[in-house]
Structure 1
Amino acid sequence: MTLNTGDITRGGQLALLRFRMFMQVNNALFYYIILLWMIVTVGIIYWRLDTNIFHNGVQYWWAESLVSFRHIMRNPPTFSIWYEGHVYTFPWDKVLTDPYVVWCGMKLRDEIFNCVMGSALFMLAFCLVIFFVLGRIGRGQSGDEVLGGRTFEPLRVVARMLRQRGEASDMVIDGLPLKKDAEIQNFALHGTVGTGKSTLLEKKLDHIARRRQPAIIYDKGCTVVEKFYDPARGDIILNPLDKRCPFWDMWGECLNLPDFESMTETLIPMGNAADPFWQGSARTIFAEGAERMRDDKDRSYNKFLRTLLSVGLDKLRIFLEGTPAATLVDGSIEKTAISIRSVLTNYVKSMRYLQGTEGPDRPRFTIREWMHENADKPRPAWLFITSNERYHESLKPLISMWLGMAATNLLSLRPNLRRRIWFLYDEIPTLHKLPSLPRALSEGRKFGGCFVLGFQNYAQLEEAYGRDFARAVYDLLNTKFFFRSPSAEVAKFVATDIGETVRKRFSEQTSFGSEQVRDGISYGKDEERVLIKSYSDIQKLNDLECFVTLPGDYPVTQLKLKFKKRPMVADALIERNFKTSLDPEIEMQLVAIESEERSAVQGLFDDAPAKQPVAAQQKSAAQVFARPSGEQPASSGSQASHEVVDKETGEVVTVDAPVESLTFTLPEGSTTSNGGRQDDEDETAAAAGGGRENEIPIMKAPVTLSPESDAPDALADYAQYAQATAQEAMAREEREFVPVSGHEPEM
């Protein structure tokens, strides 16, 4: 409530102006309505009454009206009465008493009353229709006029449009039918955590189960398995850490070398590396090595991984002899070969969890055979490829490889537009880049492929796949569900992607003054382009609410999902004891590589040993093994007593083991073992000797500790220098990391 005089003046002037304009419309409207009412009433009376009755009735009421004046009339008038084609002349008093004439008068009165009331009701309804039409015209004029672009409509309107056009699918999500056959044009689920993407995915799975269609499901977190896994249906769980996982036969999956090369594209992604040589070389070694081992009757994952990761380079060179990969492990480029092997190890190490899945107690399985068997099966099975947060990073290369192969194998089927095979990849940015995904999305419709990709925001997709690749994937997703995006930047992207509308925007201007001639209201429309939904609308969506865009000219709508509590029908993960299946030699190699990488990275930040914290003032393996440049390393097979430091207890441990020499070349200008800079004479001598005088002999790692040693970390320190995998880090930083020499082992 306000008592401000200005507000009262403006309100009063505006009210009076609108009232006068309303009365102007009503005056003109009622004038024509009353005129029309009279015409309609007379017309109805004339149409309903006989001419004789009408004439005689008028004569009767004319005579009745003169009764009051009879005492002043000298010559009472006579009246003509029509009856059966004859005209009779009746005196005044007889007109008022003749039964027939009186009946005609009463008949006329009743008909006039009925016609007046009937036409009045008709005109009242007509008046309401006129008001309604005028209101619609006014609303149309005052509303925005859409010229192009998308529009927004309530869910019931969009559902009605789909049904009227005959394009409504039997897959209905909480009142919204999807567009018929739009599933082969792929789906996108976009939204932050906990907004309802998983709920929508589960509702889709309900329809897939009802339709009895096969599905490949990436289940990060094992939440779908515990709700939908059905052994009676023949469902398969691919997770090497799950007891229910079958024996995945890599050599049965890949029938030739090109298959292995295709598989390595996902297993060993290029990433964002500026130089693809390292990943490309690692792919070549893996593919050639796997194909070479195909003919080995005793092949196994353990034997394959030991060959790639654990045996010496000379043995690996012999194994790959005659293949393009042999040149990558040639003795003349030993340091390069070590770096390539380090890259290979980082990605292939996930396959070591496949050890122990082989055996007669586990059924043999390949994705290729499963796809062909279930593609057109009446009651097909589902394939769950699972992981949980605890082991996801370890299994990530393997899971990405399986999902990529599933998409690739779709394209090997016989084309069938009526077939439906579902690929539900939620949280797809948590995987390696799937190079086959754009092709599967674009060409999969011919084979019945239906892809549902879920991600928290487009930025994640762009980070994982790169800008152009992410755009190619995103553009192939035609039906999109946009859940809440809390950040303004992502919400603006969503608002832009939902689309804009081109419209003429209505505007109203009011003017008034002390003189009535100044009063007036003017209307106008200005063309503009506006977003259908602002980014604030995206930010304020509640959980289980989303905006939906359908392919075609259908309006954007808003969907509210209904949460459904589901029973747990299976265990999320039945963990097997995989540790007993791991090869100790391979595990030692992996620990060595990780330790070497940590040491290489730490070297970037450690200027000198004296600057390290007191807690880090301990002898490293580099200090144990480094020799001054003037000394010769121990010959192969000799025994050496080495002191290493247990990183947990800080105690010095003596290790006796055979050693071999391995050298690192110092870059020009780097420090020697005593910390001083080499003088000009040393540099001249080094140049004359081909650079070998500038090498630091490093003792090769022994394979075991002495029985009396209980320092497990010492073994890792030995192995890291044996393999020299820091070369990859050196190549990336365009420099070499030289371990600081310290205590010399006794020989």
Structure 2
Amino acid sequence: MSFKARDVTQGGQVTFMRWRMFLQINNILTYYLVIFLFFITTSMLFIRMTLQNIKNGLFYWYSVSLHPLQSHMVKKPVYHLEYYGKKLSYTTDQIINDPYTIYCGQLLRQELFICFNIGLVSVISLAVFFFWYLGYKGKKQREDEVTGGRILSEEPQAIARLMKKRGHASDIRIDKLPMIKGSEIQNFAMHGSVGTGKSQLIRKFLEQCRERGDMVILYDKGCTFVREFYDPAIDELLNPFDKRCAYWDLWEECPALSDLETAANTLIPMGASEDPFWQGSSRTIFAEGTNRLRDDPNRSYNKLLRTLLAINLDQLRELLAGTPASTLVDGKIEKTAISIRSVLTNYVKALRYLQGIEKSGKPKFTIRKWMQEVNDDGKNGWLFITSNQQYHESLKPVISMWLSIAANNLMSMGENLNRRVWIWIDELRSLHKLTTLPDAIAEMRKFGGCFGLGFQSYPQLEEIYGPKAAEAMFDLMNTKFFFRSPSAAVAKFVEKELGETVLKRFNEQTSFGNDEVRDGVSFGKDEKRISVASYTDVMKLDNLGCYITLPGDYPVIKMSLKYVSRKAVAEEFVPRIVQESLDEQIELEIVKRVEEESQWRALFDGHTAVTTSSPTTLDVTGSNDPLRNALPVSDSSDRKPSQSSGRKQVSTSENATAPAGGRSEELKITDVPTPLILADTEILQSDYQLYVDEQQTRDAVRKEEVNINHRRGERDQDLGDFTL
């Protein structure tokens, strides 16, 4: 409430102006409604009575009205009445006393009353209609007019009816909302923070996949889906630490060298910004070395690890002779070869947990053959690829490789648009970069491939695959579920993805003044673009609440998923006795090789060589891992750069390897001093010359590795400027 003169004046002017405008409309309506009432009453009267009775009735009431006056007249007037073709001449006394005229008068009054009420009801009804119509038009004028873009709907049932009407409704439903028919092969994306409902959404899909008998490949970090859906009678499980793990054979899985190279791309991922030479070289050695063991009747994962990680360089050089990998272990670049094997060790050692799997008594299993045996017309089993938090970092390279192989093998199943093979990957961020995934998502539609990817935020996708590849992958996800994003930056991304509504927004202006001629209201509509949902709406979504975008001309749907508690049908995890360490000979060879590498680094980096103790049993978490702990660790406090002018110092990364399954910290390469003096000790010119010769050979090898590293987005063009 306000008693300020300005507020009272403005309120009064606007109120009375609107009241005058309202009365103006009412005057116009009343004028025409009265005319309409007269017309209806008269029309009904002529319909219900004859003209003779109407005239005689009028004469009767006229005479009744004038009789008191005419009674004093000497010569009373005579009126001519019609009576069925005859004319009767009556005075007023005769008219008011004649039974026939009395009847006509009473009939006229009765019918006039009836006709008036009929007309009044009609007029009132018409008045209500006109007021409603004018109010409707006024409301429509004030409403914003949608001319394009998307709109928001909070009624899933209404969208379901629209889909059914158009014939687009699928048998796959999320609560009350059906998916678009055929949209499964156009892929699904689930975006949202932890605990917002992505796993619940996947469960709803999985229940229907089981009912339909579709083939499913499911990445289950945490083994929660295993507990609710695993059926040992028809399903397979891959987890080296789980007793139910199938006997997966690497060589059967990759029957050709090209298959091994594809698997190596995921097993040994490229770093985000490091020199791609090291990972590319490691991939080449892994693929060629593994391929050389293909025809060995005694091949095993233990022997593979012994070959790649433990045998000396001369033996490895002999094994790889005649292959592109032979130049990477050349005797002239021994230090480079040692560094390459360090990177190789960091990733390939994840295969050690598969040691002894061949002794499980199970038949050999390959993802490739399992997928080729799909039953298009019947029930299919599922493949669970699982891990848990305790072992995940150790298994990450192998899990990523398995999923990449599954995605790549979809093309070997043959074209079939009616088949459905689902690949569900929740927590995509917890895996290495799946190099085949972008192409698989783009090309697997005709093979029946259906991808469902879950991740907590779009920046995670960019971090793994890079901005362009992440954008391309996200664009291929035609059906998207956006759950809560607490970060404003990520929520703004979701706001943009939900789209805009193009509308004409109502704009009203009121003018008033001392004279009434200045009073008035003007309005118009300006075209605006507004977001379907603001980023704050995304930030404050409840758990299980989400926005859904569907392919085609459908609104953005806001809905809340129903939580369903599911009973356990299998154990989450059945521990398997795993041979966590390699045999003693391999451990000793690895430690010896790492110490040699440490000495080389001490020679050129000025660090003290690291001497390791006897190898111990490998710990699953990597804390007691000789493959990692035996590598030299640089201490920046021990570095003593030369104070001589014009000299440069060589630096390495703080650690040559990353934790098991992680990204490796690559060597940082700078210019080499001539001559080099570290820690006040001058290196012999002969040693330095040997080092320079090695670098020249390594640069030549790096140029040969261009084809290996061709997927790298940015690389150094002038390789000759780099020396170690």
Q: Structures share a fold, TM > 0.5?
A: yes
1:279 aligns with 2:268: no
Q: In the TM superposition, what are the counterparts of 1:36-185 in structure 2 within 5 Å?
A: 36-67=36-67, 69=69, 71-72=71-72, 74-75=75-76, 77-83=78-84, 92=92, 95-96=95-96, 102-156=102-156, 157-185=158-186
State the shift of 1:125 in Å.
2.6
State the shift of 1:279 in Å.
1.7
Bigger Cα displacement from structure 2, 12-21 vs 87-96: 87-96
1:520 aligns with 2:520: yes
Q: In the TM superposition, what are the counterparts of 1:536-551 in structure 2 within 5 Å?
A: 536-551=536-551
Measure, in 1, the Cα distance between the counterparts of 2:339 and 2:498.
47
- Mark the CA change 1:404 to 1:37 in structure 2 (over 3 Å): closer, same or farther: farther
Measure, in 1, the Cα distance between the counterparts of 2:243 and 2:441.
32
State the shift of 1:87 in Å.
5.2
Measure, in 2, the Cα distance between the counterparts of 1:537 and 1:685.
70
- Mark the CA change 1:566 to 1:89 in structure 2 (over 3 Å): closer, same or farther: farther
Q: Secondary structure at the match of 1:294?
A: coil
- The C-alpha deviation readout for 1:623-667, integer Å capped at 9, x for no partner, is xxxxxxxxxxxxxxxxxxxxxxxxxxxxxxxxxxxxxxxxxxx97
State the shift of 1:473 in Å.
0.4
- Mark the CA change 1:76 to 1:472 in structure 2 (over 3 Å): closer, same or farther: same
Task: Report the counterpart of residue 616 of structure 2 in structure 1.
Answer: none
- The C-alpha deviation readout for 1:548-583, integer Å capped at 9, x for no partner, is 111122122211112222222222211212146754
Measure, in 2, the Cα distance between the counterparts of 1:335 and 1:507.
75
Q: Is the 8 A contact 1:236 1:245 kept in 2?
A: yes
Bigger Cα displacement from structure 2, 159-168 vs 56-65: 56-65
Q: In the TM superposition, what are the counterparts of 1:603-614 in structure 2 within 5 Å?
A: 603-607=635-639
State the shift of 1:461 in Å.
0.4
Task: Report the counterpart of residue 659 of structure 2 in structure 1.
Answer: none
Measure, in 2, the Cα distance between the counterparts of 1:305 and 1:98.
132
Q: Which amino acid aligns with 1:438?
A: P
Task: Report the counterpart of residue 203 of structure 2 in structure 1.
Answer: 202
Q: TM-score, normalised by structure 1?
A: 0.78
Task: Report the counterpart of residue 507 of structure 1 in structure 2.
Answer: 507
Q: Which amino acid aligns with 1:453?
A: L
- Mark the CA change 1:683 to 1:131 in structure 2 (over 3 Å): closer, same or farther: same
Task: Report the counterpart of residue 341 of structure 2 in structure 1.
Answer: 341
Q: Is the 8 A contact 1:424 1:451 kept in 2?
A: yes
Q: Which amino acid aligns with 1:351?
A: L
Task: Report the counterpart of residue 638 of structure 1 in structure 2.
Answer: none
Measure, in 2, the Cα distance between the counterparts of 1:582 and 1:339.
21
Measure, in 2, the Cα distance between the counterparts of 1:494 and 1:141.
32
Q: Is the 8 A contact 2:352 2:579 kept in 1?
A: no
Measure, in 1, the Cα distance between the counterparts of 2:60 and 2:370.
101
Measure, in 2, the Cα distance between the counterparts of 1:315 and 1:412.
37
State the shift of 1:88 in Å.
5.1
Task: Report the counterpart of residue 677 of structure 1 in structure 2.
Answer: 681
State the shift of 1:470 in Å.
0.5
- The C-alpha deviation readout for 1:492-541, integer Å capped at 9, x for no partner, is 11111111222222222222234333322221222232322222221122
State the shift of 1:137 in Å.
1.7
Q: Secondary structure at the match of 1:148?
A: strand
1:328 aligns with 2:332: no
State the shift of 1:123 in Å.
2.8
State the shift of 1:59 in Å.
4.3
Task: Report the counterpart of residue 531 of structure 1 in structure 2.
Answer: 531
1:595 aligns with 2:596: no
State the shift of 1:608 in Å.
6.5
Task: Report the counterpart of residue 302 of structure 1 in structure 2.
Answer: 302
Measure, in 1, the Cα distance between the counterparts of 2:687 and 2:382.
66
Task: Report the counterpart of residue 402 of structure 1 in structure 2.
Answer: 402
Measure, in 2, the Cα distance between the counterparts of 1:21 and 1:270.
75
- The C-alpha deviation readout for 1:34-83, integer Å capped at 9, x for no partner, is 22232233223333444445444444444454455553454254352343
Measure, in 2, the Cα distance between the counterparts of 1:684 and 1:443.
57
Task: Report the counterpart of residue 552 of structure 1 in structure 2.
Answer: 552
Measure, in 2, the Cα distance between the counterparts of 1:107 and 1:355.
113
Bigger Cα displacement from structure 2, 320-329 vs 20-29: 320-329
State the shift of 1:239 in Å.
1.1
State the shift of 1:459 in Å.
0.5
Q: In the TM superposition, what are the counterparts of 1:695-706 in structure 2 within 5 Å?
A: none
Measure, in 1, the Cα distance between the counterparts of 2:12 and 2:383.
73
Q: Which amino acid aligns with 2:476?
A: L
Q: Which amino acid aligns with 2:452?
A: V
Q: Is the 8 A contact 1:148 1:503 kept in 2?
A: yes
- Mark the CA change 1:583 to 1:18 in structure 2 (over 3 Å): closer, same or farther: farther
Q: Secondary structure at the match of 1:578?
A: coil
Measure, in 2, the Cα distance between the counterparts of 1:390 and 1:363.
28
Measure, in 1, the Cα distance between the counterparts of 2:218 and 2:133.
55
- The C-alpha deviation readout for 1:689-729, integer Å capped at 9, x for no partner, is 8679x9xxxxxxxxxxxxxxxxxxxxxxxxxxxxxxxxxxx
Q: Which amino acid aligns with 2:628?
A: E
Q: Which amino acid aligns with 1:258?
A: S
Q: Is the 8 A contact 1:290 1:304 kept in 2?
A: yes
Q: Secondary structure at the match of 1:572?
A: coil
Q: Secondary structure at the match of 2:170?
A: strand
Measure, in 2, the Cα distance between the counterparts of 1:686 and 1:463.
42
Question: What's the RMSD between the two structures over aligned residues?
Answer: 3.0
Q: Which amino acid aligns with 1:606?
A: D
- The C-alpha deviation readout for 1:186-244, integer Å capped at 9, x for no partner, is 11111111111112221222222232322111111212221222234x12221111111
Measure, in 1, the Cα distance between the counterparts of 2:123 and 2:342.
93
Measure, in 1, the Cα distance between the counterparts of 2:464 and 2:72.
113
Measure, in 2, the Cα distance between the counterparts of 1:67 and 1:582.
134
State the shift of 1:468 in Å.
1.0
- Mark the CA change 1:124 to 1:228 in structure 2 (over 3 Å): closer, same or farther: farther
Task: Report the counterpart of residue 371 of structure 2 in structure 1.
Answer: 371
Bigger Cα displacement from structure 2, 467-476 vs 247-256: 247-256
1:474 aligns with 2:474: yes
Q: Which amino acid aligns with 1:523?
A: F
Task: Report the counterpart of residue 247 of structure 2 in structure 1.
Answer: 247
Task: Report the counterpart of residue 193 of structure 1 in structure 2.
Answer: 194
Bigger Cα displacement from structure 2, 97-106 vs 442-451: 97-106
- Mark the CA change 1:257 to 1:143 in structure 2 (over 3 Å): closer, same or farther: same
Q: Is the 8 A contact 1:79 1:92 kept in 2?
A: no
Bigger Cα displacement from structure 2, 1-10 vs 302-311: 1-10
Measure, in 2, the Cα distance between the counterparts of 1:154 and 1:351.
50
Measure, in 2, the Cα distance between the counterparts of 1:327 and 1:275.
18
Q: In the TM superposition, what are the counterparts of 1:618-697 in structure 2 within 5 Å?
A: 670=676, 675-678=679-682, 683=684
Q: TM-score, normalised by structure 2?
A: 0.81
- Mark the CA change 1:329 to 1:29 in structure 2 (over 3 Å): closer, same or farther: same
Task: Report the counterpart of residue 421 of structure 1 in structure 2.
Answer: 421
Measure, in 2, the Cα distance between the counterparts of 1:490 and 1:292.
48
Measure, in 2, the Cα distance between the counterparts of 1:154 and 1:280.
51
- Mark the CA change 1:231 to 1:686 in structure 2 (over 3 Å): closer, same or farther: closer
Q: Which amino acid aligns with 2:148?
A: G
How many correspondences in the alignment? Answer: 633
- The C-alpha deviation readout for 1:136-168, integer Å capped at 9, x for no partner, is 221222222223222223324433432332222
Measure, in 2, the Cα distance between the counterparts of 1:243 and 1:578.
9
State the shift of 1:685 in Å.
6.7
Bigger Cα displacement from structure 2, 29-38 vs 297-306: 29-38
Q: Secondary structure at the match of 2:317?
A: helix
Q: Secondary structure at the match of 1:218?
A: strand
Q: Is the 8 A contact 1:429 1:461 kept in 2?
A: yes
Q: Secondary structure at the match of 2:417?
A: coil
- The C-alpha deviation readout for 1:356-376, integer Å capped at 9, x for no partner, is 222353243221222122351
Q: Secondary structure at the match of 1:295?
A: coil
Measure, in 1, the Cα distance between the counterparts of 2:44 and 2:407.
78
Measure, in 1, the Cα distance between the counterparts of 2:685 and 2:433.
50
Measure, in 2, the Cα distance between the counterparts of 1:568 and 1:67.
104
Q: Which amino acid aligns with 1:607?
A: R
Q: Is the 8 A contact 2:222 2:386 kept in 1?
A: yes
> Identity percentage over the alignment?
50
| Structure 1 stretches lacking a partner, 5+ long | 610-665, 695-730, 737-747
Measure, in 2, the Cα distance between the counterparts of 1:466 and 1:683.
45
- Mark the CA change 1:71 to 1:144 in structure 2 (over 3 Å): closer, same or farther: same
